[in-house]
Amino acid sequence: MYMNETAVILSTYLPMNKEEIQDLLEQPRQSSFGDVSFPCFTLSKKFKKSPSRIASELSQEIKNPFFSKVEAIGGYVNLFLDQTIVFKHVMEEMMKQREKYGSHEVGEGKKIVIDMSSPNIAKPFSMGHLRSTVIGNSIGYLYEKLGYEVTRINYLGDWGTQFGKLIAAYQKWGNDDLIQANPIKELLDLYVKFHEVAESDHSLNAEGRKWFKLLEDGNETALHLWKWFKDLSLVEFERIYQLLGVRFDSEQGESFYNDKMIEVIEELRNKQLLIESEGAQIVPLNEEDLPPCLILKSDGATLYATRDLASIFYRKNMYTFDKAVYVVGQEQSLHFKQVRTVLQKMNYQWYDQLVHVPFGFILKDGKKMSTRKGKVVLLDQVLQEAISLAMENIEAKNPKAQDKEKIAKAVGVGAIIFHDLKHNRIHDFEFSIDEMLAFEGETGPYLQYTYTRIQSLLRKGNFGDGIPLNNHDKEAWEIIKILVGFPQIIKKACYEHEPSILARLLLDLAKEYNSYYHAIKIIDNSVMQQARLQLSFIVGVVLKEGLRLLGIATPDEM
């Protein structure tokens, strides 16, 4: 809000438009350098003057009641906002807009599809799947906040050589009763055993490939087992998604595209892009400095890239998307470059609408978790432990709370989600159950607790909305600056596909509000009480809406 207003004012003094200026504006780290800084370095060449001289001259020219003081330091123009004007503007806007504050119509009429989560069936939902799920879910909410129509797609890994391996393992060691009683654990044990035995018995891998080829050819036994494994997995996945509060608009897995790949392969042949190499069919990409994109194996079996191309064409026709966002680990970066390049070579000009949003690993003992080696941490166990710990805290601190189970679920699950989203998505981080479930510091429960503290204050103070109030404490200024920046942060987090940007703002807001809470007696029956409660109210609105955009619920008491 104030960045936009500042850019508008500066555009009357500079040969630049509002957007160009706004891209350059900075928020100083120290309040002694003002509320907004404009760097003059890019103007040096144009004006043929030093940045410091430009800053000095510009600071003397700017005269506007929006700024209480303007000064030049080095090559920067530092602007101090008039707190009374800004405070009045913020209170009026936020009391009018409430939870719609920060919404935008920039995406109206545009469609986004998000490929997210996408676990493999017949394997447990591990901590490794958490990142794609919660990052993708939050990105979806951020796009919706900006007016886009969003379709969330769970592209289930329900096809591929691994299912041939699993069927081979089942045929050798499977026990129907054990699988029915505890399907995911037993199927994982079979998968792990297959790879352990295959290290010494190399014929096992050939048997796995044979069973997958039979599956692709429609073998009745293979199809029956594959469908059984899939149905057992989907029941388990749905339970996890309900816990996380994640929904999908489409759950068409890789198998859905089996009958749609022939058309893609034929088109590649007709456009003379497909060539044979050692018995396999590939699209060479050496001119683009990329390895070839493998389309068909030597035995005629399809690959991930083949199915991905088929799915892209289907989604483009079905959803007429303006952007297709793939929230998939950074190890798939080469694959997405290859697929995009193949689309480009096929002369589809919308190839650049495909956006890969990579993310780092959750590490265990410094290493990537591996389902194949059985080194995984099960998400369900972590979620249940988080909920149990939250319940213990509630029983100890607020035993009379209403609907304790609902609160414990919101706090426990929120702790896990926030711990992931507060990290820059591209960074790896070490799995630590203790850090994830900490209820103090930079955590989801800390934000939820700040929100419930505000709700308690509003109840005690009999807060009524009333008209926006202009009187304020000087200690509220840092809070106001954060609130003003909320709409811009939503845009930034959305377009950079980086929920951690929003998470950091919420932590800053909670920290500043709690400092304010300890510095000022909010309920004191003075003329300032209603203004302080009104400020608390809008902080609560932003905390709740910000957490919603991260996919986290906010209980009214803890």
What is residue 473's three-state secondary structure?
coil
Q: Binning pLDDT at 50, 70 and 90, where does residue 23 land?
A: confident
* Average pLDDT for 382-409: 91
Residue 501 reports pLDDT greater than 70: yes
Pairing assessment for the beta strands 275-277 and 149-153 based on DSSP bridges: unpaired
* Average pLDDT for 276-296: 94
**Between the CA of residue 514 and those of 365, 380, 480, what are the distances in Å?**
35, 33, 14
**Minimum mean pLDDT range among 128-137, 143-152, 366-375, 458-467:** 366-375
Give the model's pLDDT for residue 30.
85
Give the model's pLDDT for residue 364.
74
According to CATH, where is 3.40.50.620 located in the chain? 116-368
- What's the distance, CA 261 to chain centroid? 30
Q: Binning pLDDT at 50, 70 and 90, where does residue 31 land?
A: confident
Residue 372 reports pLDDT greater than 60: no
* Average pLDDT for 499-504: 98
Q: Binning pLDDT at 50, 70 and 90, where does residue 188 land?
A: confident
Percent of residues, the chain, with pLDDT higher than 90:
69
CA distance 430 to 420: 11
Give the model's pLDDT for residue 1.
61
Alpha carbons within 13 A on the beta-carbon side of 155: 22
Residue 373 reports pLDDT greater than 60: no
CA distance 69 to 282: 65
Q: Binning pLDDT at 50, 70 and 90, where does residue 224 land?
A: very high
Q: Does CATH number 3.40.50.1220 belong to domain 2-81?
A: no
Give the model's pLDDT for residue 214.
92
Give the model's pLDDT for residue 277.
92
Among 3.40.50.620, 2.40.110.10, 2.40.50.180, 3.40.50.2300, name the CATH number for the domain at 116-368.
3.40.50.620
Q: Binning pLDDT at 50, 70 and 90, where does residue 374 land?
A: low
According to CATH, where is 3.30.1360.70 located in the chain? 2-81
* Average pLDDT for 434-442: 79
Residue 226 reports pLDDT greater than 60: yes
Give the model's pLDDT for residue 129.
86
CA distance 514 to 479: 10
Residue 542 reports pLDDT greater than 80: yes
Condensed to tens digits (0 to 9), the pLDDT of residues 190-199 reads 998 999 999 9
Give the model's pLDDT for residue 298.
85
Give me the amino acid identity at 473.
D
According to CATH, where is 1.10.730.10 located in the chain? 379-549
Residue 371 reports pLDDT greater than 60: no
* Cβ-based neighbour number of residue 456 at 10 Å: 13
Torsion region of 109: left, alpha or beta (phi above 0 gives left; psi -120 to 50 gives alpha): left
Residue 161 reports pLDDT greater than 90: no
Residue 362 reports pLDDT greater than 90: no
**How is domain 379-549 classified at the CATH fold level?**
Isoleucyl-tRNA Synthetase; Domain 1 (1.10.730)
Give the model's pLDDT for residue 502.
98
Give me the amino acid identity at 480.
I
* Average pLDDT for 448-458: 96
Higher pLDDT, 377 or 392: 392
Percent of residues, the chain, with pLDDT higher than 70:
98
CA distance 479 to 508: 9
Query: Minimal CA–CA distance to 486: which of 69, 94, 66, 86?
Result: 94
Q: Binning pLDDT at 50, 70 and 90, where does residue 527 land?
A: confident
Pairing assessment for the beta strands 362-364 and 429-430 based on DSSP bridges: parallel
Query: Minimal CA–CA distance to 211: which of 261, 157, 166, 173?
Result: 166
What tokens appear for 173 in the block?
């060691």
* Average pLDDT for 310-335: 96
CA distance 391 to 376: 26
Distance between start and end Cα atoms, the chain: 33
Residue 377 reports pLDDT greater than 80: no
Average pLDDT, the chain: 91
CA distance 77 to 39: 7
Higher pLDDT, 288 or 433: 288
